[in-house]
Amino acid sequence: MPFQMSRVEIRAVYRQGEDAVVALIEMLIQRLNKLDKLEEEVASLKAQVSKNSHNSSKPPSSDMFRPAPKSLREPSNRPSGGQPGHRGHHLQRVKNPDQIVKHPLSGRCSCGRALSQGRLKEPDCHQVFDVPTIKLKVTEHQAETRECACGLCHTAEFPAGAEAPVQYGERISALTVYLSQYQLLPQKRIAEMMADWFGAPLSQGTINNMVGRAHARLELTEEAIKAAIRAEPVMNNDDTGMRVGGQLQWEHSSSTPKLTYYFCHARRGTVALREIGLLEGYKGRSVHDGWRSYFEFDILHALCNAHHLRELVFVKEELGQRWAGTMISLLTGCEIISLKRWRLCLTSKSLLIIIWRNEICA
């Protein structure tokens, strides 16, 4: 209940003497301290409720209500869309089309002569780009079999990829792995697509086998990608939750502008990062979201500007602090700025390094 005292009650306490007044003030101070704590708790709870993928590091999948996207760029006078001088993308004619269909003239000219008798000139050409007719190509391999004069039969060896009496080839396996691992289609939908397009009723077990064979063949490729990432001066690191067999696991990623390495693990923290083996002994700088496990490694660190911007959006929109908007404009609109006591370098809009009195705050 709210604490209330009338003027009469306050004067009554005053008439009781100094000790009564001190006791009243001490009691009010205790209530004010409790009120401050309650206000802090309310502010903390409101901040938790207000955070989403737009203004914090929370993933979009955690948003109860998807916030409308907002651009952090300052508005300009230029119209939206392609700018003058932009080449754009459109179909280009080819010199040697796969098929040519000729359409002869018929009828008569206004003068009465038959159009088919006129002098032939260069045709007017239109090219139509389309996918070819989709049909499985079946190749039968026949291994020669001969019977020796002694009665023994001998059969030639089948080539790799034709070991079974009936099986799918390498191209359909490659397409299935591409749809599964790059386009991220569920296996059930891949099976439906293969049946609809090619008349190839793949089972989910067959799809799993195709993905498993591709995984085994890419072991050396994965090691080469990891080695190339470790050789770069800057590495981006991140993780996100994912469901595997209904259980929460973590997808870790390490990347450079040209290479990305993914690793799925049941843990999010240091144990998983050490098992991946990219940060241990790394000589470059790791750009990440500030998750404490990254700081377990004795390497150079930098905090991702995308996370800086989200947190600044929260401070600006939810806490109403104007300086955060100024900082957003600074990070999104400038490349190199020199001030009196510190220098700010912004590279590729993703790595922020502030050098101030020989201290690096990244």
Q: Which residues contact 260 (CB under 8 A, 6 or more apart)?
A: 225, 253, 254
Q: Round to whole Å and give the CA distance between 303 and 331.
A: 13
Mean pLDDT is highest, among 316-325, 331-340, 348-357, for 316-325
For residue 315, give both structure tokens: 């401070």
What pTM does this model have? 0.59
Kindly state the DSSP code that residue 248 receives in the 8-state scheme: E
CA angle 167, 172, 176 (to 5 degrees): 115
Half-sphere exposure of 215 (CA within 13 A, CB side): 10
* Contact indicator for 251, 242 with CB cutoff of 8 Å: yes
For residue 209, give both structure tokens: 């086998």
Half-sphere exposure of 291 (CA within 13 A, CB side): 18
Q: pLDDT at residue 69 above 70?
A: no
Q: Round to whole Å and give the CA distance between 355 and 4.
A: 54
3-class DSSP state of 305: helix
Q: Round to whole Å and give the CA distance between 236 and 287.
A: 5
Q: Which residues contact 155 (CB under 8 A, 6 or more apart)?
A: 143, 144, 145
Q: How much is the average pLDDT of 257-267?
A: 93
Instruction: Judge residue 84's burial from the number of C-beta atoms within 10 Å of its C-beta, 0-12 exposed, 13-18 middle, 19 or more buried.
Output: exposed
* Contact indicator for 274, 280 with CB cutoff of 8 Å: yes
Q: Round to whole Å and give the CA distance between 46 and 58.
A: 15
pLDDT score for 273: 95
3-class DSSP state of 166: coil
Q: pLDDT at residue 204 above 70?
A: yes
b/e map 324-348, b = 16+ CB within 10 Å: beebbeebbeeeeeeeeeeebebee
Q: Round to whole Å and give the CA distance between 222 and 263.
A: 10
If one compares 32 and 166, the residue with the highest pLDDT of the two is 166
Mean of the per-residue pLDDT values for the chain?
83
Residues facing 154 on adjacent strands: 146
Q: φ, ψ for residue 340 (rounded to 5)?
A: -65, -50
111-144: per-residue pLDDT in tens?
A: 989 988 888 989 999 999 998 888 889 999 999 9
Query: What's the Cα-to-Cα distance from 276 to each of 182, 221, 320, rounded to whole Å?
Result: 21, 15, 41
Residues facing 359 on adjacent strands: 356
3-class DSSP state of 247: strand
Q: How much is the average pLDDT of 204-212?
A: 93
276-318: per-residue pLDDT in tens?
A: 999 999 999 999 988 899 999 999 999 888 888 888 888 888 8
Please name which of 316, 354, 315, 318 lies closest in space to residue 334, comparing C-alpha atoms.
354
Q: How much is the average pLDDT of 234-245?
A: 89
For residue 357, give both structure tokens: 């009195």
Q: φ, ψ for residue 262 (rounded to 5)?
A: -105, 145
Please name which of 335, 332, 312 lies closest in space to residue 323, comparing C-alpha atoms.
312
For residue 216, give both structure tokens: 């085994």
